[in-house]
Amino acid sequence: MPVKLHVDSVSLSFGGIKALQDVDFQVEAGEIYAVIGPNGAGKTSLINSINGFYAPQQGRIIFDGRDMTHVPPYKRAELGISRTFQNIALYTNATVLDNLMAARHIHMKSNMLTGALFWGPAQREEIAHRSIVEEIIDFLELEQIRKSIVGTLSYGLRKRVELGRALALEPSLLLLDEPMAGMNIEEKEDMARYILDIHELQGTTIMLIEHDIGLVMDISHRIAVIDFGVKIGEGSPDEISKNEAVIAAYLGEGEH
């Protein structure tokens, strides 16, 4: 399979703190690739480097063969990189529908005049974007809350809306930063099902950061493990479960 993402020997520091040290891995097109590690291992710093929130001091971020290291976040989104956040970042005073429509702005081509008058191309474009958003609402089973204010929703539903907003960007690479954090068992199972459906039905390449090891083992094709900003293991779920360095650093000696 072609390489969708290459994190090429990336190092990132904040003052004297080394968040990432020479991290290198490749995500193949069409796979679910997970990154795991203890709290403070550098996982979110890694995802922030991939989507452009942080600029690594060393190394490169290569997406679809293009060096993206110095490309701004909005441009990466236009080129097909989308993400969710560990801490939900939605417009809490807006509806579910409006949150998803807001994500479509990078695909909107109408100019200020046609947009203000809302006729011709602007109207047709609005209808097309609304159609895509409605498909996402159906896919994520958000019909009953499509006009609800996001701030009134449960935590699990807001996490689902955030996933919907990421999908509204039509990504070819979807970055998920702890999508199951804070969820109950039923909500986690639902989210896992959506992730698998996104992968299988849309062919989206997915990179996943998650603390729930059982879930990661169930849905991932390959896993990388980082500890104190250093990659200490990589392989299939079976290989990772038997890796002694990983067991000592993250899974715990008791899970031998």
Contact status, residue 97 vs residue 148, Cβ threshold 8 Å: no
In Å, how far are 8, 56, 66 from 21, measured between CA atoms? 11, 10, 22
Q: Which domains does the chain have, with CATH numbers?
A: 1-80+171-256 (3.40.50.300), 90-170 (no CATH)
Query: Which long-range contacts link 124-132 to residues 24+ away (Cβ below 8 Å)?
Result: 129/101, 129/104, 130/101, 132/104, 132/168, 132/170
Look at residue 237 and tell me whether its pLDDT is greater than 90: yes
Q: Which residue has the higher pLDDT, 22 or 244?
A: 22
Contact status, residue 84 vs residue 166, Cβ threshold 8 Å: yes
Tell me the average pLDDT of the chain: 87
Look at residue 214 and tell me whether its pLDDT is greater than 60: yes
Helix, coil or strand: residue 120: coil
- What is the C-alpha separation between 77 and 73, in angstroms, rounded? 6
